[in-house]
Amino acid sequence: MNKKLPLYLLEIKTNLQILAFIGIFSILFIIIYTPFTYSSWFISNDNNHGIQFIYSVITIIGGLLITTATRILLNFISKKNEITYLQYVFWNIGEIFLVALSYTAFTKFILNDPREFLDICRRAILFIPLLLLIPFTVSQLYLALKEKDKKLKKITESSEFSSIPVQTSDTDEIINFYDEKDALKLSVKKDFIYYLESADNYVNVFYKKNGKLTRFILRNTMKRVEEMLQQYGFARCHRSYIINLQKVQMVKKERDGFVIALDVEEIADIPISKTYTNDIVGIFAQ
């Protein structure tokens, strides 16, 4: 449960698709099959089924707006901190409580429901997960399959793009860099890459070209690039830096902490933040 959550589940576009599907499913669920009587959802002076349906749609739309806001907030948080599966589960539980409270306030204070506030809220906390279980599960399975297909397509495209024969050395590996839309933007031999530095929604890739240090600006997040590079012997040493471990000349202790010196004089020492100190120092202490 402490495993990092896949980035595609945190993207705003992906979450809007999930919420749209849940909204459509919920409305159809109310129209086609109602396992609970309308009075279980709303008790008001007007028990006409048409009016009750309108109340239901308003509640669903309100819940979707609240959840959209929380998903945008989650996306913002994920750009600064890694989100685990456990945190994601608790976030979903928190959304259910928030929507339940909104539904309870709507029925109690707007529709003048005579039931106690806590009674309404308890029923909402029970019904809402039941209503969300099917569409949420279906959407998650669909997105997981879609992500696997995307990765397979990426591997195929990168092979066609590079046309590189099988390599005999790790340093000859070709590393492909993709932008936020999964479009291939740069292919460089691992041995030519020194480090990467984040800059807002961009990542600067520093590599040698014709003997000179060159920078390529890639539109993507540092987290996504980190995931792409982990299998190639790169490591995150700071919130803003990823390094090629093969290019490290030394790790030294300074007054403000550890720093990394690469084997090129024109590259300044790269700091190691406290978060990554044990991991980086441990690699070279072995």
List pLDDT tens digits, range 212-257: 999 999 999 999 999 989 889 899 999 999 999 999 999 998 888 8
Q: Which residues of 213-230 are buried (b: 16+ CB within 10 A; e: fewer)?
A: eeebebebbbbbbbebbe
Phi/psi class of residue 21: alpha, beta or left (left: φ > 0; alpha: ψ in -120 to 50)?
alpha
Give residue-wise pLDDT tens across range 101-113: 998 998 888 888 8
Q: Where are the domains of the chain?
A: 7-156, 170-285
Strands 241-244 vs 234-238: parallel, antiparallel or unpaired: antiparallel
Q: Which long-range contacts (CB under 8 A, 24 or more apart) does 54-59 make?
A: 55/111, 56/27, 56/30, 57/27, 57/30, 58/106, 59/103, 59/106
**CATH T-level assignment (fold) for domain 170-285:** OB fold (Dihydrolipoamide Acetyltransferase, E2P) (2.40.50)
For residue 240, what is the DSSP state?
T
Name the residue type at position 216.
F
Q: In the structure encoding, which two tokens stand for residue 217, read together?
A: 């600006």
Give residue-wise pLDDT tens across range 201-210: 899 999 999 8
Residue 161 is inside which H or E element, if any? helix 117-162
- Whole-model pTM: value is 0.52
Q: Which residue has the higher pLDDT, 50 or 26?
A: 26
Lowest mean pLDDT among 10-14, 91-95, 273-277: 10-14
Give residue-wise pLDDT tens across range 16-37: 888 999 889 888 877 775 544 4
pLDDT at 38 over 60: no
> Are 91 and 77 spatial neighbours (Cβ–Cβ below 8 Å)?
no
Give residue-wise pLDDT tens across range 106-162: 888 888 888 899 988 988 888 888 778 888 888 888 888 887 777 666 554 444 444
- DSSP characters over 38-93: HHHH---S---HHHHHHHHHHHHHHHHHHHHHHHHHHHHHHTTS--BHHHHHHHHH
pLDDT at 259 over 90: yes
Three-state DSSP class for 113? coil
Q: In the structure encoding, which two tokens stand for residue 128, read together?
A: 């809402």
Which residue's structure tokens are 């550890």? 258
